Chain A
Amino acid sequence: MKKYMYVFLCFLFTTGCSAKTQLDDLTLALTVGLDTGKNGKLLIYSVSPVFNKEAKNIYEVIRTLGVTPRDGRSKANAFASGKIVGGKAQNIIVSKTFAKTHDMFSYLDVFYRDPKNSTTANFIVFDGPLKDVMYIRLDDKPRLSVAIRDVLLTAHKSKQTTKINLLEFRRLSLDRAQTPFAPILRVHKGDLIAGGIALFNKQRKYVGSLSQKESPYFAILNKNIKPATSLTLAIKGLTKQKEYVSISIEKGDFSYKPSFQNGMFRFDVHIHLGAILTETTTHIAMKKEKKKLEQLLAKEIQKQLEAIVKKMQTYEVDPIGFGLYARAYEYKPFQKQKSWSKAFAKAEINIHPTVEIISYGVLQ
């Protein structure tokens, strides 16, 4: 009896032999793109690597017209060189015009619903028609999907843009107290550039953007300054001429204090930044003028931070998550608001940054 059992068990090991899938028989969609096509239909791109020595291109781009992403994939299977698999997706790119007019959730649903799909793919907004990026020729870069990811990660590390994956996008969208955002990618003179931040409203539609210059300040407000956020600020007043000072922010202490008065939310934001001075265009006598420089830098940072908060309030979006603090500490009035975005637009936000120069390099 026992002997037969072992023989039977041995057969179980062979189950994998019948339904195997060879890697080169698959079309791994590493990048999926969504754009508006003709007649309001959806234009779906998928970029997948080609593992074939004879093929000239190292990746193939498939373009189909469909009503939904899954519909487009079924159609694409008709002329892909292998069965399309979505589980390895690294980037999901939507064009700006598409994001402006469509609720993102209707088109991203398949990525969340089907457990075989990856939810850690980067979500990216592309500035321009998607064909610009899909058929770009990058001779000095790796495969397109890898190149996009690399450009994005590098830009994110230096705070020129931000990074969000599908899961985080969903988390921010579904939370009453926040709105989602996404990095912006564009093509300029044949180069891939990641910079700026796309802002989405509560209906998951694109409403506006922050420029590449504003991105580091967005990162500061988001408490995301590690490993280091570098800023170049124009300040006046220390010497007579216009001067530029570059600092690298190494650490920060944040406090967001919400309060509710007269039917209006009020936030007192205190940010204490520890910075290293990395560059000045004019000579500053650091020993004497350190305090003054710190104040001037703080003032300039405050101006920039207030500007982007103002911008977010006009768009009625809250990607920073001020609502989180409102909900945590002023729950009753927060719950009464029909729409947090509207309440946030009316809120009074006072930002008080302070800068402390930790060191100023090896020069006096």
Chain B
Amino acid sequence: MKRYEFNEITIMQYIFLISGAQIGIGILSLPAQLADIANTDGWIAIIIGWLISIIASTIIIKTMAKHPQDTIFDLSRRYFGRIFGTLIHLAFVAYALLASMTVVFTAIHITQVWILPNTPNYLIMILFMLPGFLITRNGVRVLARYAEFVFYLTLWMPILIAIPLQKGTILYMLPILKEGWAPIFQAVKTTVLSFLGFELAFVFYPFLKEKKHAIKAMVIANSISAFTFLLITVTCFIFFSPDETPSLIWPTLSLLKTIEFSFIERFEVIFLSFYLFVMSTTGIPYIFTTVFGVSQLFGKKDHTIVLIIAVCAFILTSFLYTPSFSHIQTMGSWWERYGLWGAYIFPIFLFIYVSMAQWFQGGKKK
């Protein structure tokens, strides 16, 4: 029985959906955070983070593969019973809600600081929610198509980032392993969190058409993200001096500010306008997960009503509450703390639990 037949997505769409969710707001500040902890050795931490995230996503896929038609919401009900299952269900919904709030509010804040300083944030919120609503309403397939489309649409951006690379000083990168491995391992905690987004496989895996390639797809998605993180971080490191990078909040954007052609100035405005697409592929899957999770909780098949309520709630919130930058940072750190449990530790326990349960049932398939 295939429950999500109408919404099946191809392997490519799945890859771009996951890597789209990974590349979002974190990348704008990642180089500064890394330079703060590990100086210019921070890029090594990205590679380690990449390996860890691949391991974690493999565990998620292995768990999900035991019941290929189940999302995490169905799985938690199946294994943990009504009460505990609902609790896990709620926790995951809360996590996705927190993530989508963080992404949306950060995106609004960045837009206000860099592009539209005089526009009130509820207006930007309405503009963000309009496409968000249209895409989320149509379910996973449209969402994945959108992710793929955005990926092709933004392929030129890494090339642009490489322009400042020519003016960089490679000497900044030396010596490698300045202070040994200790700061690098400390930085791994940050890089691991910038890979957050693969845990959405918990929700999107059942929609995948060719499930035997799922692990390969996860590896590719993580690699796309890792490559992007590496490119931007290394560019920032050799363009700004090592002591300067931590002093910038969004080094990636400061980097773009320096690109100037004789016919255009303040290139970061154009870049950021396009980057809103990239941020939307992070925010919308989380919004979808929230809405999908809530409608599953009530046993509803169609999630449009929940979505309308959610969108209205988002817009209403932005009317009443304009988060300051420090609030956004707090929100981000909550997400990261939550994400560390939700995406790295929880899957391991879940995998062990599910394997044990199956073993005790003696291979009896339900």
- Which chain A residues numbered 159 to 176 have a C-beta less than 8 Å away from chain B? 167, 170-172, 174-176
Whether B266 pairs with A87 at a CB distance below 8 angstroms is yes
| CB-based contact A178/B174 at 8 Å | no
Q: Spot the interface stretch: A54-62, A323-331, A349-357.
A: A323-331
Enumerate chain B residues within 8 angstroms of A325, measured Cβ to Cβ: 171
A215 contacts B by Cβ under 8 Å: no
Q: How far apart sit A325 and B114, CA to CA, in the bound complex (Å)? A: 36
Binding site for B on A (CB under 8 A): 12, 19, 87-88, 115-116, 118-120, 167, 170-172, 174-178, 321, 324-325, 327-329, 331
Min CB distance A42 to B, Å, is 24
Residue of B nearest to A165 (CB): B258
Q: What 16 new A-B contacts, CB under 8 Å, besides A170-B244, A174-B247? A: A12-B127, A87-B265, A115-B268, A118-B266, A119-B254, A120-B260, A171-B244, A175-B243, A175-B244, A178-B241, A321-B169, A324-B169, A325-B171, A327-B171, A327-B175, A329-B174
What residues of B have a CB within 8 angstroms of the CB of A321 in the complex? 169, 171
Given A118-B265, A175-B243, residue A324 in contact with residue B175 (CB < 8 A): no
Considering the complex, give the chain A residue whose CB is closest to the CB of B253. Answer: A115
Residue of B nearest to A324 (CB): B171
Whole-angstrom distance between the alpha carbons of A329 and B175 in the complex?
7
Q: Nearest Cβ in chain B — how far from A299, in angstroms?
A: 29
Q: Check if B68 is an interface residue, CB within 8 A of chain A.
A: no
| A249 vs chain B, min Cβ distance (A) | 22
Q: Known interface pairs A19-B118, A324-B169, A328-B174. Does A119 touch B244 (Cβ–Cβ under 8 Å)?
A: no
Is there an interface contact between A174 and B241, defined as CB atoms closer than 8 Å? yes
Q: Report the 9 A-B pairs with minimum CB-CB distance, sorted nearest first.
A: A175-B241, A328-B174, A174-B244, A324-B171, A171-B241, A331-B175, A174-B243, A328-B171, A115-B114
**Among the listed A12, A120, A324, which residue makes an inter-chain contact with B172, where contact means beta carbons less than 8 Å apart?**
A324
What 0/1 readout, one digit per residue, does chain B (171-197) give for beta carbons within 8 Å of chain A?
110110010000000000000000000
Query: Is B335 an interface residue when CB atoms closer than 8 A count as contact?
Result: no
Task: Using A115-B114, A119-B258, A324-B171 as known contacts, say yes or no to A175 and B178 having CB atoms under 8 A apart.
Answer: no
Q: Chain B 228-256 against A: per-residue CB contact (8 Å), 1 yes, 0 no?
A: 00000000000011111001000001100
A171: contacting residue among B240, B257, B260, CB under 8 A? B240
Contacts of B113 in A (CB 8 A): 115
Of all chain A residues, the one with the shortest Cβ separation from B118 is A19
Q: What are 18 A-B interface contacts by the 8 Å CB criterion?
A: A12-B127, A118-B265, A118-B266, A120-B260, A167-B258, A171-B240, A171-B241, A171-B244, A174-B241, A175-B244, A177-B241, A321-B171, A324-B172, A325-B171, A327-B171, A327-B174, A327-B175, A328-B174
Interface SS of chain B: helix, strand, loop or mixed? loop
Q: Does B117 contact A (CB under 8 A)?
A: yes
The answer for the CA separation of A331 and B179 in the assembled complex, in Å, is 9
| B118–A331 CB distance below 8 A | no
Instruction: List the interface of chain B (C-beta within 8 A of A).
Output: 113-114, 117-118, 127, 169, 171-172, 174-175, 178, 240-244, 247, 253-254, 257-258, 260, 265-266, 268
Residues of B within 8 A of A167 (CB): 257-258
Residue in chain A with minimal CB distance to B170? A328
B245 nearest CB neighbor, chain A only: A174
Shortest Cβ gap from B189 to chain A (Å): 24
Measured CA separation A120–B268 after assembly (Å): 13
Quote the shortest CB–CB distance from A65 to chain B (angstroms): 28
A175 to B118 alpha-carbon distance, docked (Å): 35
Nearest A-chain residue to B114, judged by Cβ:
A115
**In the assembled complex, how far is the CB of residue B113 from the closest CB belonging to chain A, in whole angstroms?**
6
B240 CB contacts on chain A under 8 angstroms: 171
**A176's closest neighbor in chain B, by CB?**
B243
Inter-chain CA distance A125–B258, complex, in Å, is 22
Q: Which residues from chain B contact A324 at a C-beta distance below 8 Å?
A: 169, 171-172
A115, B243: Cβ atoms closer than 8 Å = no
Q: Are B241 and A172 in contact (CB under 8 A)?
A: yes
Contact partners of B265 in chain A: CB under 8 A: 87-88, 118, 120
CA distance A167 to B243 in the complex (A): 14
Given A172-B241, A174-B243: A116 and B118 interface contact (C-beta under 8 Å): no
Nearest-Cβ distance from residue A209 to partner chain B, whole angstroms: 23
Chain A residues in 8 Å Cβ range of B118: 19
Would you give the shortest CB distance from A166 to chain B, in whole angstroms?
10
CA distance A327 to B266 in the complex (A): 33
| A178 CA / B172 CA spacing, docked (Å) | 12
* Cα(A87)–Cα(B268), bound, Å: 13
CA distance A176 to B257 in the complex (A): 24
Closest chain A residue to B115 by CB distance? A115
Q: Which of A19, A119, A172, A331 contacts B257 (CB 8 A)?
A: A119
Given the contacts A118-B266, A171-B241, A331 and B258 also touching, CB distance less than 8 Å: no
Residues of B within 8 A of A170 (CB): 244
